[in-house]
Structure 1
Amino acid sequence: MNPKTWMCVICGWLYDEAAGAPDHGIAPGTPWEQVPADWCCPECGAHKLDFEMVQI
């Protein structure tokens, strides 16, 4: 499985599945599907539903 990158459509913050977001409670290697539904963007507070997968 190739890690994917997800972008917050509100502020542009990127979530890289390979890197995770350890400072925000998400371990490296965590697929987007396993990120909790109530998780919010650490930059602007947008909901997980406000993210879209992007090609980098």
Structure 2
Amino acid sequence: MSPVYKCSGCGYEYHQDLGDEHEGFAPGTPFAELPVDWVCPDCSVRYKEDFQQLD
């Protein structure tokens, strides 16, 4: 299973295995490959550096 990243603001989780097809990211898209200016699709205010990798 690949890493999961959680938004510290709203709790949205980005699952690399699932991607986010609504946002245009195919399954398997690594979190590191999301654009630098990408924001959380749920709260729209947190940037990548505000996400925490879950174990």
Tell me if both proteins adopt one fold, taking TM over 0.5 as the criterion. yes
Match of 2:37 in 1: 38
TM superposition outliers: structure 1 runs of 4+ over 3 Å: none
Please say which of residues 11-20 and 41-50 is displaced more in the overlay.
41-50
What is the CA–CA distance in structure 1 between the aligned matches of 2:27 and 2:50, rounded to whole Å? Answer: 21
Shift of 1:32: 1.0
Match of 1:52 in 2: 52
Identity, in percent, stands at: 37
The alignment's C-alpha RMSD in Å is: 1.0
Match of 1:21 in 2: 20
Structure 1, unaligned stretches of length 5 or more?
none
Shift of 1:25: 1.7
TM-score, normalised relative to structure 1: 0.88
TM-score, normalised relative to structure 2: 0.89
How many residues align? The count is 54
* Paired residue type of 2:9: I
What is the CA–CA distance in structure 2 between the aligned matches of 1:32 and 1:20, rounded to whole Å? Answer: 9
* Paired residue type of 2:48: K
